[in-house]
Amino acid sequence: MPATAKICGLSTPETLDAATTGGASHVGFVFFPPSPRHLPFEKAQGLAARVPGHVARVGVFVDPDDGLLDAAIVAGRLDVIQLHKVTPERAAAVKARTGRETWAALAVKTRADLVPAAGFRGAVDRLLYDAKAPDGAKVPGGTGLRFDWNLLDGFAHPLPWILSGGLDAGNADEAIRVTGAPLVDVSSGIETAPGVKDVDKIAAFLKAVARS
């Protein structure tokens, strides 16, 4: 099966349309105020209404409470919940409570960072491997950093998985070839500034994934 792509951190109709018409399988809306990609609920409502039925809407959260999840699910018409900085127990509770497909992100820098992956078996539907943010960073993802893809070589993935961290149109095909990633996730690699997505960069990334 060819790899598919999630375009994350979208905030304008133009960039959303570039993602959905360019072949993205998923679009991501960030609900985390410290992030430059944070999406207010009123903007999420308008964007969600533009997403065609064959593209999944993913809400991105950092250790969210139930109130935030409930409001975001309604505003963003979310199909998928992507959780950062949560335990397997909390992720399982979110999945059970919301009834949504649920992903858990793992911050990766060394092979040891992959060990917790097994703990999410039965708790979530997919794992997202992202580059570990530097100490003191305000956000856990969207840093533009990548981890050593060779860390995944021979790793027995306990669940379907996604590759994230430092991807762009110039390295997407290599990333997919090296890791065998079935789904790749991009945010900063399609921006001209933090939170400012570029329609041409989105198109180029999706073409690179399609070629892989």
- State what percent of residues in the chain have pLDDT above 90: 92
Mean confidence (pLDDT) of the chain: 95
The β-bridge partners of 127 are 104, 161
Neighbours of 122 (CB within 10 A): 10
pLDDT at residue number 142: 58
Confidence of residue 62 (pLDDT cuts 50, 70, 90): very high
Burial (CB count within 10 angstroms: exposed 0-12, middle 13-18, buried 19+), residue 149: buried
> For 115-136, what is each residue's pLDDT tens digit?
999 999 999 999 999 998 766 5
> For 140-183, what is each residue's pLDDT tens digit?
655 677 899 999 999 999 999 999 999 999 999 999 999 999 99
What CATH number is associated with residue 10?
Answer: 3.20.20.70
Greater model confidence, 2 or 104: 104
Neighbours of 90 (CB within 10 A): 15
Question: What are the catalytic residues?
Answer: 8, 130
Contact predicate 104/120, CB 8 Å: yes
Report the number of distinct structural domains present in the chain: 1
Which ranges constitute the DSSP H helices of the chain?
13-22, 41-48, 66-76, 88-98, 172-179, 199-211
- Does residue 139 carry a pLDDT above 80? no
- Does residue 201 carry a pLDDT above 60? yes
In whole angstroms, what is the distance from residue 9 CA to residue 128 CA?
A: 15
Mean pLDDT of 107-115: 95
Could you give the C-alpha distances from 21 to 7, 14, 26, 28, in angstroms and in order?
A: 12, 11, 12, 15
pLDDT at residue number 135: 63
- Does residue 138 carry a pLDDT above 70? no
Greater model confidence, 10 or 134: 10
- Does residue 67 carry a pLDDT above 70? yes
Domain region containing 158: 4-211
**CA contacts within 13 A on the Cβ side of 56:** 17
Radius of gyration in angstroms for the set of CA atoms belonging to the chain, rounded to a whole number:
16
Q: Which tokens in the block code for residue 72?
A: 């975001």
Phi, psi dihedrals of residue 103, rounded to the nearest 5°: -115, 150
Angle (CA) 90-109-197 rounded to 5° is 80
The β-bridge partners of 102 are 81
